[in-house]
Amino acid sequence: MKNQLNAHICPLCGCKTCSLFYQDTTRKYLRCSDCELVFVPQFYWLNSANEKAIYDLHQNFPSDEGYRIFLSRLTNPLLKRLNTKQKGLDFGCGPGPTLSYILEEQGHQVDLYDPFYYDDPSLFFKSYDFICATEVVEHLHNPSATFTSLFQVLKQHGWLGIMTKMVIDKQAFQSWHYIRDLTHICFYNRSSFEYIAKRFSAKVSFFGNDVILLNKL
């Protein structure tokens, strides 16, 4: 069994030394020994139709003040670092884009991308001053490829703002609500984002346990 688990390659850093971190009645969770990403093997992934059916249940709109307050944990520190009238991308915006409205209210221009709702590959031939991914990176099938694409379209000195809950320890993981969502397949901690920063020549800053800003050097 140990050899079988180690055959799984980390989808973030490509490390082949991954071991069982936790197992519940639904899925197994492996942990990379290098970048410390905890991830769900492909065997347990939902198919696209079932994944989208869950996203269709999301009820997030710009008029929802509670949701705007939730997003402010990312937008507040990001806005302090942006110059006026910047060009941005809301990556994984979902069926009810809201973050883009908040940023546009502050004078910025924001494109929308989502593989299920706003699938426009031409956006990846543009360049951006900032990119936001709120509650997105935990859903990525191939985080290595996705982060590569995002940093390719991010301008030098640009900002990548991420919101995702981070792994604390194994004990907390076992009762963590975040793993109950079957669309969540990648779980990061600070070491994971420090690996990303080093790989893509960026400076990383953390705000609480769920907001990460990466400044491309």
With a pLDDT cut of 90, the percent of the chain lying above it is 89
Measured from the Cβ of residue 167, the count of other Cβ atoms closer than 10 Å reads 23
- Give the Å distances, CA to CA, from 171 to 22, 167, 168, 199: 10, 10, 8, 29
Q: What is the pLDDT of residue 64?
A: 81
Q: What is the pLDDT of residue 3?
A: 38
Q: What is the pLDDT of residue 63?
A: 72
Q: Output the six-digit token pair for 43.
A: 């065997």
Amino acid at 155: K
With 50 as the cut, is the pLDDT of residue 1 above it? no
With 60 as the cut, is the pLDDT of residue 4 above it? no
**Average pLDDT for the chain:** 94
Q: What is the pLDDT of residue 205?
A: 98
Q: Output the six-digit token pair for 66.
A: 């509670």
With 70 as the cut, is the pLDDT of residue 6 above it? no
Measured from the Cβ of residue 114, the count of other Cβ atoms closer than 10 Å reads 17
User: What are the pLDDT digits (tens) for 82-111?
Assistant: 999 999 999 999 988 899 999 999 999 999
Q: What is the pLDDT of residue 7?
A: 55
Which of 54-63, 84-93, 108-117, 146-155 comes out lowest in average pLDDT? Answer: 54-63
User: Residues 104-128: what's their mean pLDDT?
Assistant: 96
Give the chain as a 3 state SS string.
CHHHHHCCCCCCCCCCCEEEEEECCCCEEEEECCCCCEECCHHHCCCHHHHHHHHCCCCCCCCCHHHHHHHHHHHHHHHCCCCCCCEEEEECCCCCCCHHHHHHHCCCEEEEEECCCECCHHHHHCCEEEEEEECCHHHCCCHHHHHHHHHHHEEEEEEEEEECCCCCCHHHHHCCHHHHCCCCCEECCHHHHHHHHHHCCEEEEEECCCEEEEEEC
With 90 as the cut, is the pLDDT of residue 59 above it? no
Q: What is the pLDDT of residue 66?
A: 87
User: Which residues are bridge partners to 186 per DSSP?
Assistant: 39
User: Residues 132-144: what's their mean pLDDT?
Assistant: 97
CB 169 within 8 A of CB 125: no
With 90 as the cut, is the pLDDT of residue 71 above it? yes
User: Residues 47-69: what's their mean pLDDT?
Assistant: 87
| C-alpha span between 113 and 18 (Å, rounded) | 32
User: What are the pLDDT digits (tens) for 11-56?
Assistant: 999 999 999 999 999 999 999 999 999 999 999 999 999 999 999 9
User: Which residues are bridge partners to 39 per DSSP?
Assistant: 30, 186
Q: Please name which of 193, 143, 215, 192 lies closest in space to residue 31, comparing C-alpha atoms.
A: 192
Q: What is the pLDDT of residue 62?
A: 77
| C-alpha span between 100 and 88 (Å, rounded) | 9
User: Residues 125-152: what's their mean pLDDT?
Assistant: 97
User: Residues 118-144: what's their mean pLDDT?
Assistant: 97
Global confidence as pTM: 0.94
